[in-house]
């Protein structure tokens, strides 16, 4: 009898700090570029995103994303648990599980919070490189983790960005984020008191909120503006989505769970109105927009997480970061 393929192998466990030390923002952008291109070229597979929404007023939910990247042997699943009523910065729990695509051995268990933030921001950066590569001004609505990482990645990918206006319902949070963007990103950053002030006459708008009600309306759009819609699906008014050429991160995810899905439900767009996915745009070039605003609808696709997890695990293996645990055990079930 041949040796069992799990025999003698151990699973690597990586904390948030471990993962962050192994994946920079610049690396995340390039990993995501490869991931979106692989999706566009049919080199990946993914299960439909799955949700468990908890009853009651806490608005908590559990989300599962599973995918496979044949080009780099990434096979894994991410589990997210979000409780929006928790304090800022503590409302998301996440784990990533990475498997050997040859035999299913669990290669790694790792934090998914940093990867979620980094890959989400990287998506915004890639979309901005396509639709607003020479832009210098940004209007931001939202001040949480997604807002910061979107700006961080956009600034790395589009260094001409120089000015920022920030709105949040919390005066303290918008002031703090503006100060951080000024000191760490070198931006001319100003907190403002309304959405109107934040987005007036800017070249890029970023929304990154948990708002159950729309925060952005058609009157906030100007011809040719690019919108990175990075928050939950209810943050964009359906009529705003309808006014834009919409690029999603994955067609099924955008139609089923994106801001575009809310516009479909409202009857102001159909599935046929959706533009190409980001991967197709990166592969084939920017589509014609005839001066209309463009919108990147970020829903989150499994391959974004799986490709980052594989990159992190390979580097951790090279540098021997994180403990190795005998999860399978010395024997095998029979």
Q: Which domains does the chain have, with CATH numbers?
A: 11-115+303-325 (3.30.1780.10), 120-301 (3.40.50.720)
Residues 6+ apart with CB under 8 A from 282: 33, 36, 37, 40, 126, 130
Residues 6+ apart with CB under 8 A from 309: 74, 76, 78, 96, 98, 108, 110, 115
Nearest CA among 261, 279, 280 for reference residue 271? 261
Q: What pLDDT shows up at residue 23? A: 98
Using the CB atoms, write b or e for 213-233: b if 16+ within 10 Å. ebbbeeebbeeebbbbbbbbb
pLDDT tens for each residue of 147-188 = 999 999 999 999 999 999 999 999 999 999 999 999 999 999
Please, which pLDDT band fits residue 91 given cuts at 50, 70 and 90?
Answer: low
Q: What pLDDT shows up at residue 61? A: 85
Mean pLDDT of the chain: 94
The reported pTM is 0.93
pLDDT at 317 over 70: yes
pLDDT tens for each residue of 1-50 = 457 788 889 999 999 999 999 999 999 999 999 999 999 999 999 998 89
Please, which pLDDT band fits residue 90 given cuts at 50, 70 and 90?
Answer: low
Residues 6+ apart with CB under 8 A from 168: 141, 142, 143, 174, 177, 191
Are the CB atoms for 226 and 206 separated by under 8 Å?
Answer: no
Q: Dihedrals φ, ψ of 98, to 5°?
A: -115, 135
Distance of alpha carbon 191 from alpha carbon 312, whole angstroms: 35
pLDDT at 303 over 90: yes
Q: Dihedrals φ, ψ of 191, to 5°?
A: -75, 140
Number of helices and strands in the chain (H, E): 11, 15
Four-point Cα dihedral 320, 321, 323, 328, nearest 10: -70
Instruction: Write out the two tokens for 203.
Output: 């070249």
User: CA of 124: how far to CAs of 28, 96, 165, 173, 327, in Å?
Assistant: 12, 22, 17, 22, 37
């Amino acid at each position: 009898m041949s040796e069992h393929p799990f025999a003698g192998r151990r699973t690597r466990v990586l904390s948030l700090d471990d993962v962050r030390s192994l994946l920079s923002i610049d690396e995340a952008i390039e990993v995501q570029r490869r991931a979106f291109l692989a999706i566009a070229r049919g080199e990946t597979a993914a299960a439909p995103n799955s949700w468990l929404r908890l009853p009651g007023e806490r608005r908590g939910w559990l989300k599962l994303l599973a995918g496979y990247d044949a080009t780099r042997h990434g096979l894994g699943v991410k589990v997210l648990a979000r409780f929006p009523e928790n304090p800022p910065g503590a409302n998301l729990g996440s784990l990533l599980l990475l498997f050997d695509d040859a035999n299913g051995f669990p290669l790694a268990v790792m934090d998914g919070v940093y990867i979620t933030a980094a890959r989400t921001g990287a998506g915004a950066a890639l979309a901005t490189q396509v639709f607003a590569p020479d832009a210098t001004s940004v209007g931001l609505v939202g001040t949480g983790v997604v807002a910061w990482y979107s700006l961080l990645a956009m600034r790395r990918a589009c260094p001409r960005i120089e000015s920022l206006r920030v709105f949040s319902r919390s005066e303290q949070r918008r002031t703090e984020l503006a100060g951080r963007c000024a000191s760490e990103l070198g931006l001319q950053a100003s907190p403002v008191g309304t959405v109107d002030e934040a987005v007036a006459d800017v070249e890029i708008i970023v929304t990154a909120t948990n708002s159950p009600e729309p925060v952005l309306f058609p009157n906030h759009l100007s011809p040719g503006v690019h919108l990175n819609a990075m928050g939950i699906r209810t943050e964009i008014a359906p009529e705003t989505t309808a006014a834009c050429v919409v690029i999603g991160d994955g067609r099924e995810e955008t139609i089923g769970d994106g801001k575009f899905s809310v516009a479909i439900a409202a009857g102001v767009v159909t599935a046929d109105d959706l533009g190409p996915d980001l991967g197709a745009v990166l592969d084939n070039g920017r589509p014609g927009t005839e001066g209309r605003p463009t919108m990147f609808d970020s829903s989150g696709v499994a391959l974004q997480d799986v490709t980052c997890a594989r990159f992190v695990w390979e580097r951790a293996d090279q540098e021997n970061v994180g403990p190795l645990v005998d999860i399978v055990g010395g024997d095998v079930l029979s």
